[in-house]
Chains A and B, each alone.
Chain A
Amino acid sequence: DAKTTQPPSMDCAEGRAANLPCNHSTISGNEYVYWYRQIHSQGPQYIIHGLKNNETNEMASLIITEDRKSSTLILPHATLRDTAVYYCIVRVFHGSSNTGKLIFGQGTTLQVKP
């Protein structure tokens, strides 16, 4: 299973861009990178995912390096409500069932400060 490495914590000033890095050097060619976040006392929330190309949606942007060994989640204008634990996950495909279970690491605790 591909594993991910994230810094345990980061701070960001409100209104500034938050750039959250993730290393996944053992990722396989058909494995997607997913980002989730978990706000205190809630279930994890899907943010974005990608395979090779950079992706953008209403929540964030995902930049994946050309060799796919690392990625960066960008929250362009962080707000206090973005304070959460952010998980970078590589989706593992499970044999014939093709379930693609997600294995969560420890994540990065992002603290957005006024």
Chain B
Amino acid sequence: DVKVTQSSRYLVKRTGEKVFLECVQDMDHENMFWYRQDPGLGLRLIYFSYDVKMKEKGDIPEGYSVSREKKERFSLILESASTNQTSMYLCASSLRTGRLLNYGYTFGSGTRLTVV
């Protein structure tokens, strides 16, 4: 069964801390994505990556950075956590568009981050 695994289900961090959210997929997918989900705002794309060491900004990249050193792992980094980054963070992966059997995204279960 294909899987996207996020390292933590719940996380509590202090304001100003550097926070790493890890995501690993075992499907050999080229594309990986980070979203955040907030009540009333839906899912918003933070960053995505279409290859190792490649990254592109999504709709709300401010305050975040990402790292993709290996194909299977995509990390989201909060350089200095703030309370407005309290949210549910969702990682997803997909095959590169245009390949056969492209069934869209597979999401992880999410990490609920609270910044206090």
Contacts and interface: CB of A to CB of B under 8 A. Distances in A.
Interface of A: 34, 36, 41-46, 49, 91, 93-94, 97-107
Interface of B: 4, 31, 33, 35, 42-45, 48, 50, 54, 56, 58-59, 90, 92, 94, 96-98, 103-110
B24 to A, nearest CB: 14
Contacts, number: 62
26 contacts: A36-B105, A42-B110, A43-B4, A44-B43, A44-B105, A45-B107, A46-B106, A91-B104, A93-B97, A94-B56, A97-B50, A97-B54, A98-B50, A98-B96, A99-B48, A99-B50, A99-B56, A102-B33, A102-B104, A102-B105, A103-B45, A103-B59, A104-B35, A105-B42, A106-B42, A107-B42
The 9 closest A-B pairs by CB, nearest first: A43-B107, A100-B97, A104-B43, A97-B50, A46-B104, A99-B50, A98-B97, A44-B107, A104-B42
A48 to B, nearest CB: 9
A86 B98 CA distance: 25
Contacts of A44: 43, 90, 92, 105, 107
Nearest to B51: A97
A89 to B, nearest CB: 9
B56 A46 contact: no
B30 to A, nearest CB: 9
A101 B33 contact: yes
B104 A49 contact: yes
